[in-house]
Structure 1
């Protein structure tokens, strides 16, 4: 195997990972893959008893070994086996997680799925009766990728899974709003975590803005209350596990 991928951003979906990718592209110490989301470690068509890592290598150009290869695929934190697979591949990996208020994240995911035609239900229905589409399905079913609006907000579960596979010093937990509103300080933390020079100041990156289409619904206070009731205990546990102050997140207010 050639120089392994050593930097992973594992979530969350709709949490600013595309903007982080744009910053990573500008750093001379980091080597980008040919596309932003490789989706190697959540690929259920792989034989995970004997994975073919040469397939992972095909996403990267040849290099002199001095730059760090990175993979920004936000489903890794949510997809149950992914972090264990990363650990088996490279136990020295450094993992970064960007967490966003779970209600705002769920709404953004629904907008994405509706815009691409994968979702037809209004948002209110999708986070209520629409969750029945996951009932009885195995945890690795395709539907878990699409309709998991509320389920992906169980951040405490994701942090526990990360801590089971990696030591805490190999994990960096961040709030997505810090990358948006305090990018210099946040990028400095990431650079320190990775042991690389500071990021060059190439300006603010705001990628993947919401599609400008007519959506059939808008989020309501009742929708927010439903998600808050569902996730409040998990979010309190998440704050304790991650060390992040999320008291200002609308879902908890």
Structure 2
């Protein structure tokens, strides 16, 4: 039986036991060679599942998002390494396919947490970063729907939630940058408008890890034409192509929301215009959602 299908209390016990054992055997475990760092509600789960199906890739134990470099950094490197497969497992795959096995995780909040990029650069100096971007208007709307569904958002009206955002996240980014122990629920779950300012976060990530180690994927292209996008990601990560193709499916999708207020949509689209233009150098073209 898959762990994610177990009742929540049982799942919690299994996770605790696995993490404890993983910490004890940390020196025998791999560290990730790449990370999916965002963005939130941009198809990260779908890409994670596709890459986890690659024959030379071993995924993180139990769940896709470890959230070490954002909200759990105080737990230490042994705790983090304890989430990944044993080196012995990687050696068997390397022997079978003749190429080094890789492992990874996907924590979309890494892209947004002010300290995550520097921590990644320090602790995983050779790791590559994959980032997905999506029409920021649709992304913000989807995130709000997602947070409401998880009971992390009490304001059910999207427009009202956007109006509350400045007060909710006021100075939280500064506090997170200055205080390693600070945590902000609002910054993680209620920054709907800010999350779509992709180029700003990519610039910070590049300052720390290097532009050449970051690969940006348009979610719209991945979902409409997944095979070439998957091949491009594999090439960037140094994963051999031609071994087998995974099933390309949408995961973690929510039922379709009611249509957004047209006036609010226009306002958001205009707000994101300069941010979308700043994304052009990363994509090499105008974002798909800005065409037509």
TM norm structure 1? 0.88
Structure 2 counterparts to residues 74-93 of structure 1, below 5 A: 74-93=108-127
Partner of 1:189: 232
> Residues 93-137 of structure 1, C-alpha deviation per residue, up to 9 Å, x if partnerless?
111111001010001100100111111220111112444222243
Structure 2 counterparts to residues 21-100 of structure 1, below 5 A: 21-34=48-61, 35-43=63-71, 46-47=73-74, 52-62=76-86, 63-65=89-91, 66-100=100-134
- 1:205 paired with 2:249, answer yes
Distance in structure 1 (CA, Å) of the matches to 2:42 and 2:30:
29
Is the Cα–Cα contact under 8 Å of residues 124 and 219 in structure 1 kept in the other structure?
Answer: no
Counting helix residues as a fraction of each chain, which structure ranks higher?
Answer: 2
- 1:179 paired with 2:222, answer yes
Cα gap change, 1:56/1:247 in structure 2, threshold over 3 Å: closer, same or farther? Answer: closer
- Partner-residue secondary structure (3-state), 1:96: strand
Q: Which has the higher contact order (CA 8 A, sep 6+)?
A: 1
From the CA coordinates, give the structure whose radius of gyration is larger: 2
Partner of 1:19: 46
- Partner-residue secondary structure (3-state), 1:177: helix
Cα gap change, 1:176/1:249 in structure 2, threshold over 3 Å: closer, same or farther? Answer: same
2:273 to 223, 228, 232: 232
1:220 to 240, 258, 261: 261
Structure 1 segments (4+ residues) deviating >4 Å: none
What is the CA RMSD across the aligned residues, in angstroms? 2.0
- Partner-residue secondary structure (3-state), 1:165: helix
Superposition deviation, residue 247 in structure 1: 4.2
Distance in structure 2 (CA, Å) of the matches to 1:17 and 1:40:
17
Superposition deviation, residue 220 in structure 1: 1.5
Superposition deviation, residue 224 in structure 1: 1.4
Distance in structure 1 (CA, Å) of the matches to 2:168 and 2:289:
28
Distance in structure 1 (CA, Å) of the matches to 2:204 and 2:115:
9
Q: How many residues align?
A: 244
2:158 to 119, 123, 140: 123
Is the Cα–Cα contact under 8 Å of residues 123 and 218 in structure 1 kept in the other structure?
Answer: no
